[in-house]
Amino acid sequence: VNMEASGLITSKERNAMYFRACVIEVLNEQTFMNRFGYFNE
């Protein structure tokens, strides 16, 4: 039971980390484009 519970927790954490990574990539891309916009201006 403990191993199954830890397995469910790790899968949930894995999904959460993947979701956060996607969100962070989008936010970083936006800030990167904003900085490039400042440089282009």
Q: Which pLDDT score, from 0 to 100, does residue 29 have?
A: 82
Q: What average pLDDT does range 8-18 have in this prediction?
A: 83
Which has the closest alpha carbon to 11: 19, 25, 41?
19
pLDDT band of 4, cuts 50, 70, 90 = low
- Angstrom distance (rounded) from CA 8 to CA 12: 6
Range of the domain at 30: 1-41
Taking the model in full, what pTM does it have? 0.49
Token representation of residue 38: 């400042």
Q: How many domains does the chain have?
A: 1
